[in-house]
Amino acid sequence: MISTTVIIIGGGATGSGVLRDLSMRGIPAIMLEQGGLAYGTSSRFHGLLHSGARYAVNDNESAKECIEENMILRKIGKHCVELTEGFFVQTPEDDKEFAPKWLEGCKSAGIKTEEISLEEAFKLEPNLSRDISKVYKVPDSCIDGFRLVWQNAMSARKYGGDLYTYHKVIEIITESGKVKGVKALNKVTNEVVEFGCDYIVNASGSWAGEMVALSGLAPLPISPDRGTLIVFNHRFTSRVINRLHKSSDGDIFVPHGSVTILGTTSAEANAPDDKTPTSQEVKKLLDIGRVVFPYVDDYRILRAFAGTRPLYGAKGAGRSASRNFNIVNHTEEGLSGFVSIFGGKLTTYRLMAEKVSDVVADMAGVTAKCRTADEPIIQDVSEHTISKAKKYFPQGAVNIVVDRIGADFEEVLNNIENSNEKNELICECEMVTLSEIKYVAKDAASYYLNDIRLRTRLGMGTCQGTFCSLRAIAALENENIEMKLKPSDNIKNFLQERWNGLRPALWGGQLREAELTRAIYLSTLNFDGESYEA
Amino acid sequence: MSSEHINPDKCIACTICQVHCPVAKVTPNFLGPRLIGPAYERFRFLDIAEEESLHYCANCKNCDISCPQGVSISTLNMVARCEYTEKNGGKLRDWVLSHGGFLADVFKYIPTWMKNFGMHNPATRILLDTIGISKKAPIPKFDKHFRLVYKKLKQPKLEKKIVFFPGCYVDDYDYSIGLDMIWIFNQAGYEVIVPEQFVCCGLPLVSNGFMKDAAKNAASNVSVIKEYQEKGIPIVTGCPSCALMFKKDVPEMFPEVVYDSYKGGVMDAQEFLMSCVERGELSFKEKISGKSIIYHSPCHLRAQGIGLPSIDLIEKLTGSKVQNAQAGCCGISGSYGFKKEKYQIGLEVGKELFDTIKSSNCEIVTTECGTCQAQIKHGTGQKAYHPVTVIRKLVENK
Amino acid sequence: MRHSDVLVVGAGMAGLMAAVTAAKSGASVSVLSEGAGVISIGSGAVDFLGYVNGKKITDNPFNHLSELGEMHPYNIIGAENIKNAFASLVEISNANGYEIKMNEEGLNHTAISIAGTTKPTYICSESNNASRILKAKKILFAGVEYLKDSQPALAVKQAKQYKIFADAEINSALLKSPFGKTHRVLNCLDLARYVDKEEGFNWLKSELSKAAAGYDAVIIPPICGTINYTKHFKELQNLGFILVEAVSIPPGVGGYRLRHALINEAKKLNVKFIENCNVQRAVIENGKCKSVIALHNNIAGALETEYTADNFIIATGGIIGNGIASTPDKVYETIFNITIDSPVSVEERSDKNVFGSHLFARFGVKVNSKLQALDSKGSPLYDNVFFAGNTIAGYDFPTEKSGYGVACSTGYTAALSALASK
């Protein structure tokens, strides 16, 4: 049995935020995640670091929280936040009465807005529809959810925290109304592992209700709501573009590194992991998106994906449900040491983590205060290191790689310098080199090629894994780095995961790409027939 | 299709462009068209992809020709290069090589012998070598300026009119091609107009990163083209690079300059002459055969998607058989092969063509592009003539 | 000038095969192509039929054609045409510098890939024929330092799982690179081009001799040359072990060699090539195809050129070659705008399993035995238009392993049909 003070269930933004906060306060904590890190909603959202302007009219409290946290995250999360800005654009389909209400709401929430001339707007974003009649600048920004979760986790490790991926909590152990520990199923080895603890933080997002039920308490009204998003192959906007109207489907375009994301929809989900987008949803998003970007049909869709929002409240509440977060201390229900946190937005994850860590610290009698708003999640890398790195990485990509790897970048660079290898470009679409892949692959939390993908963006670009999955697996084999599946299965698994998102948008350029993928893996490499011959 | 920027979406990363890139074939220092073009373009939208090997792209268009998806790879590369040049400043050497048209125009009243003395004496070549223009490069000798010759020319009064865009090679280095062109159009019943306002098509400016200068030239040239198009007078050019510039690069890089009825602006002169042959406007009574002729297709002609009209033109008009060398790129690629660090690459790229020409033992070598002609002479010792010149010489029995 | 007896759209395997077949009997042939064709990056192995309904074929593939159903292009054109097409391809390739062979007993060869997987193929070069090493006792899988897609450790791990290699000892090694680290990581084609030169050939010979001591068989990536492949590979066979070239992902080198041979033959037969030519649509007059219209440079609004011919062969490469286009709502053939039946729901176009047999894989134009496109009643749409290759409906080349086999045999048959239609 592994003992600690706090078990955190859920390896998403909230969970990793709590892990870091507690670890920084000196409280021993272990985070358990049922899949790879950020398996849940944190890897399936828009990528938007809200200014809060979207909630200015309907949910001013949320709006205020958003802008405050936005400013904090820009400071402490420089390596996972992309500093862009946002536009709110009024199209002919938008109610003109909305704008003044919105401006009022932003003002009262403390969100800076600035109207810019159409001429300037179109110069900055030439792909926008010329039918737009008003444009306002807001401090929206972009955040990479995977990186955020990983960086919080890495920072937590430095403070003594620990994490286990692919460990699904299957039992909550209690004794005389007190939490004693959990049992988790190690999904890689199929063994059951027992953890002992004094407190449990249930930060499992859409699964929060299930975790509460496991403890034997009355069920929580968490209704997962599914949102589908589309990923476009290239970055046709450098700014977040919002529709200036009452929040609705498909009204935000977000640049995300080399791609653009359009979302989202809202529908009651069947289950917490209902992550299958439909082609109907994709077509609907395109119809709405066309109003803002008239040539949207010419932009190649890489894939569609969906995630569930853990909404608190009655089923089917959809967009009218509150985006506020909630902390429930189950001590009041007779189980002491068990705290759930749910709801909220990724933008406010740090605040959520702070508040729930305060509750835990209080229960544990620890007086250390939260410092997460002050200390950067990872330290910057020196200019000197960056210029050295230009010799081994694609020149333009060094800063991206630093953001992706974080504080261990120096170590990675040293390893390359001391070896004779050529730091080969494995994923040409997303500029991922061998050193990055090796570094992530060696991490204890990485078991599958998919884990490497989430941290490095391998296979997330134009070819969706066509070339890089084989190259990555071959390179790992060469370096003797063990992964959990045998190589051909790892590749199949990886391509299958990509395929799930390709299917609902399988037309045009991406269908041609799929043909090339099949020509390579089936026709030349015979990965489908291989099993018949073994 | 249309979006406000050149869209890299069509690329499926198949590597066909890589296989056919003549520069990638001979040097591993060049990352290759696919990476430099559509792959890095996705990162240029983030303002971050600098790539040191960008300058290796020769803008030969072989990637465009071989891409089955129709990606405008060379345009993406050139736009990236221009952005790089704007950010970091252009080299003096590149300025000199690309502003040749401008410089020649400025110096057009200086006697030819003086210009050649100034340019081709060993001291000048060494000086040029220090700024990066290889002293071994086959820089063509100046000739009398074509526009001055044209001014003094008397053409027969003919009903049909045609506008001829000479291009810098004809203007500065070989006015006789211009005269041959006028001759053959006269034969087909067209009086040839060469508007004074035509300037360099801008291709060398683009290839060397001077986008703004190229834009000015494009705007200027296109307004002249528009004027004649509105009068119903066709515009042709005998140089495939100029033709490609007007047909493809101008609409892609400077869309604000073109208009609905632009339709590529110019036609390839040889293609137009073929249409004259088909309409019965052009023919010669005597058929001359017996001379062995080998033709080199300039890459920029192959990129126009009109096949190789010169072969048909020579065969139809003279009865001779023309062998198609079909041996790839000559290596000079406009101003590229003159550069010190690219000179050897140019020779290696062109080797297959030189060997093919030499082993063919053909009496006449022909190609439309002026710089291809210079490179072929340099690599084989044999002078190469413009197809229209070949036709004239055969018809006039020279 | 812009009229030919036979006009071929597409210069991949199907288009080139159609062009040379038609030109051989004296017809004037033009080939309009947008790009250089996937053949230039393929492995060069010509697959006839490897699997039927998921089962591997271990005897003569001709015995299994009936299991493919009558809609399959092989059954539409018939075994005779397939045999003749393959014989013709072998002849052409051998006459133009790339030696390829069929198995003497009419069985599939076994090829081995750079990933260590094996696959059945019907016509391939001697170097790609790994059947020669199935009885070897000690096999070396060699890669080359700093060579892209040359990771023998994976190949060995993979190969060791096969029953056929159960009794063999398989090891991996890396040959020393002749260039060291380069700015652009070299691929197989780069090394193959280097081996074309004396200097490169000597490098390969020397490295192989060193590494192969004690081995019966050595497998390397496809780097034995391009234009000088045949000569150099012959010499490398005398080193005391069986040398095999693995089939590789793009650029596969073998395809480059094969294409070179076909283009050379086309050159000899005076086939006209119009490159970078984007055919937009066809002009139909009196129920026949009068011409196709090509857009210059693929720029909207540019000039168009009309190409007339007596007969047209459409070898536009299916989905990957843009011979078939798809939107969220429809799927159609791009030149004649023939609608292709597809389900209303996009999800139904594909199978859940990424390696499954998808509906879209069989998308294409339905044809009769002459390879003319059919209307809904089953009558030919246009008498003088014939289809070849991936644009034809009814087969799934990646799962069947039938890609170049269908392309080659339908290209050949389309040419015969075009020649017969006068």
Question: Mutate which of A515, A527, A531, A532 to disrupt the C interface (most C C-beta within 10 Å)?
Answer: A515
Q: Note whether B13 contacts A399, CB cutoff 8 Å.
A: no
Alpha-carbon span B35 to B31, nearest angstrom: 6
CB within 8 Å of chain A, chain C residues 190-249 = 247-249
Interval A18-33 mean pLDDT: 97
Q: Indicate the residue of A495, A515, A532 with minimum beta-carbon distance to C319.
A: A515
- Give residue limits of the domains in chain C: 3-97+258-420, 129-246
Q: Note whether A298 contacts B11, CB cutoff 8 Å.
A: no
Interval A61-82 mean pLDDT: 92
pLDDT at C16: 98
Percent of chain B exceeding pLDDT 70 equals: 98
Question: Mutate which of C30, C146, C184 to disrupt the B interface (most B C-beta within 10 Å)?
Answer: C184
pLDDT at B4 > cutoff 60: no
Question: Mutate which of C128, C354, C363 to disrupt the A interface (most A C-beta within 10 Å)?
Answer: C354
Q: Indicate the residue of B53, B251, B302 with minimum beta-carbon distance to C299.
A: B251
| Distance (Å) of CA A253 to CA A42, A47, A139, A430 | 18, 10, 15, 20
Rank A262-276, A287-301, A447-461 by mean pLDDT and report only the highest: A287-301
More confident residue, B104 or A321: B104
Alpha-carbon span A125 to A121, nearest angstrom: 6
Q: Note whether A529 contacts C319, CB cutoff 8 Å.
A: no
Q: Note whether C256 contacts B19, CB cutoff 8 Å.
A: yes
Yes or no: say if A492 and A485 are a contact pair by the CB < 8 Å rule: no
Enumerate neighbours of A (3 or more CB pairs within 8 A).
B, C
Q: Mean pLDDT across chain B, nearest whole number?
A: 91
Alpha-carbon span A262 to A292, nearest angstrom: 11
* C266–chain B Cβ distance below 8 A for any pair: no
ipTM: 0.96
pLDDT at B8: 85
pLDDT at B108: 76
pLDDT at A318: 64
Which residue segments constitute the domains of chain B, with CATH numbers given? 8-88 (no CATH), 92-131 (no CATH), 146-274 (3.40.50), 286-395 (3.40.50)
Interval A205-210 mean pLDDT: 90
pLDDT at A306 > cutoff 90: yes
Tell me which chain A residues have a C-beta less than 8 angstroms from the C-beta of B12. Answer: 462-463, 509, 512-513, 516
* A534–chain C Cβ distance below 8 A for any pair: yes
Question: Mutate which of A433, A490, A494, A526 to disrupt the C interface (most C C-beta within 10 Å)?
Answer: A526
Tell me which chain C residues have a C-beta less than 8 angstroms from the C-beta of B303. Answer: 275-276, 297
> Three-class SS string for chain B?
CCCCCCCHHHCCCCCHHHHHCHHHHHCCCCCCHHHHHHHHHHHHCCCCCCCHHHHHCCCCCHHHHHCCCCCCHHHHHHHHHHHHHHHHCCCHHHHHHHCHHHHHHHCCCCCHHHHHHHHHCHHHHHHHHHHCECCCCCCCCCCCCHHHHHHHCCCCCCCEEEEEECHHHHHHHCHHHHHHHHHHHHHCCEEEECCCCCCCCCHHHHHCCCHHHHHHHHHHHHHHHHHHHHCCCCEEECCHHHHHHHHHHHHHHCHHHCCHHHCCCCEEHHHHHHHHHHCCCCCCCCCCCCCCEEECCCHHHHCCCCCCHHHHHHHHHHCCCEEECCCCCCCCCCCHHHEHHHHHHHHHHHHHHHHHHHHHCCCEEECCCHHHHHHHHHHHCCCEECHHHHHHHHHCCC
Enumerate neighbours of C (3 or more CB pairs within 8 A).
A, B
3-state class of C210 per DSSP? helix
pLDDT at B191 > cutoff 60: yes
Q: Note whether A506 contacts C38, CB cutoff 8 Å.
A: no
A316 falls in which pLDDT band (50, 70, 90)?
low
pLDDT at A27 > cutoff 50: yes
Which residue type is seen at B381? G
Interval A137-150 mean pLDDT: 93
Question: How many angstroms away from the CA of C147 is the closest CA of chain B?
Answer: 12
CB under 8 A, 24+ apart: contacts of C418-422: C418/C6, C418/C18, C418/C22, C418/C27, C418/C311, C418/C312, C418/C313, C418/C384, C418/C386, C419/C6, C419/C22, C419/C25, C419/C27, C419/C311, C421/C310, C421/C311, C421/C370, C421/C383, C421/C384, C422/C310
* C316–chain B Cβ distance below 8 A for any pair: no
Tell me which chain A residues have a C-beta less than 8 angstroms from the C-beta of B35. Answer: 428
pLDDT at A421 > cutoff 80: no
* C55–chain A Cβ distance below 8 A for any pair: yes
Tell me which chain B residues have a C-beta less than 8 angstroms from the C-beta of C295. Answer: 305
pLDDT at A533: 58
- The residue in chain C having the minimum alpha-carbon distance to the alpha carbon of residue A508 is C326
Q: Note whether B53 contacts C193, CB cutoff 8 Å.
A: no
B260 falls in which pLDDT band (50, 70, 90)?
confident
Question: Mutate which of A298, A404, A468, A516 to disrupt the B interface (most B C-beta within 10 Å)?
Answer: A298
B289 falls in which pLDDT band (50, 70, 90)?
confident
- The residue in chain B having the minimum alpha-carbon distance to the alpha carbon of residue C300 is B1
Tell me which chain B residues have a C-beta less than 8 angstroms from the C-beta of A233. Answer: 8-9, 42
Q: Note whether B39 contacts A462, CB cutoff 8 Å.
A: yes
pLDDT at C136: 92
CATH architecture for residues C129-246: 3-Layer(aba) Sandwich (3.40)
* B41–chain A Cβ distance below 8 A for any pair: yes
Q: What is the fold of A51-56+74-143+224-309?
A: D-Amino Acid Oxidase; Chain A, domain 2 (3.30.9)
Q: Mean pLDDT across chain A, nearest whole number?
A: 91
Interval A57-65 mean pLDDT: 89
pLDDT at A400: 85
Question: How many angstroms away from the CA of A38 is the closest CA of chain C?
Answer: 24
* C183–chain A Cβ distance below 8 A for any pair: no
pLDDT at A484: 82
Alpha-carbon span A288 to B246, nearest angstrom: 38
B-C Cβ pairs (cutoff 8 Å, strict): 137
Interval A205-218 mean pLDDT: 89
Q: Note whether B66 contacts C301, CB cutoff 8 Å.
A: no
Question: How many angstroms away from the CA of C7 is the closest CA of chain A?
Answer: 25
pLDDT at B1 > cutoff 50: no
Interval C211-219 mean pLDDT: 94
Question: Mutate which of B3, B72, B87 to disrupt the A interface (most A C-beta within 10 Å)?
Answer: B3
Question: How many angstroms away from the CA of A425 is the closest CA of chain C?
Answer: 8
CATH architecture for residues A2-41+146-221+323-364: 3-Layer(bba) Sandwich (3.50)
More confident residue, A45 or C414: C414
pLDDT at A380: 86
Q: What is the fold of C3-97+258-420?
A: FAD/NAD(P)-binding domain (3.50.50)
Q: Indicate the residue of B24, B262, B306 with minimum beta-carbon distance to C296.
A: B306
pLDDT at A485: 85
Look at A360-369, A407-416, C198-207 and tell me which has the smallest mean pLDDT: A407-416
Element of type H or E holding C15: helix C13-24
Q: Note whether C297 contacts B264, CB cutoff 8 Å.
A: yes
Position of tokens 């205060």? A369
| Distance (Å) of CA B172 to CA B106, B181, B245, C320 | 11, 15, 19, 46
Alpha-carbon span C341 to C323, nearest angstrom: 15
The predicted-structure confidence for A370-405, as pLDDT tens digits, reads as follows 999 999 998 888 888 888 888 888 877 788 888 888
The predicted-structure confidence for A332-371, as pLDDT tens digits, reads as follows 888 999 999 988 889 999 999 999 999 999 999 999 999 9
pLDDT at B3 > cutoff 50: no
pLDDT at B2: 39
pLDDT at B362 > cutoff 80: yes
